[in-house]
Structure 1
């Protein structure tokens, strides 16, 4: 099953009997953010907010808390 998932562009979260898989394109996007940002979580959130805003979704809660800081 893991080989079939990878063949279809998905990465399994566990090697045996995966129930969840992540898009390889999403992992590539996350890697690009990580390489260019000290605080990847905030960069990811900002990118997703822009993406969803452009698709017509609206922000319903603007409260954001920092989980960690860059060293």
Structure 2
């Protein structure tokens, strides 16, 4: 009888451990997805800043070229 309870307890322990492992992996995956979204958002912001800087350089270049032509 005691052996039966020990074996049953062992199986329950294995099942509980497997469930805990799956939950831990799921939480890790979610954290990774969240950080990936943050990375993508940061990259988009950086691209927007670079686009603005590029537009400014193009405007300066156009203005300078116009001034040289008029001279």
Structure (1/2) with the larger strand percentage: 1
With structure 1 as the length reference, what TM-score do the two structures score? 0.26
- The structure where helix makes up a greater share of residues is 2
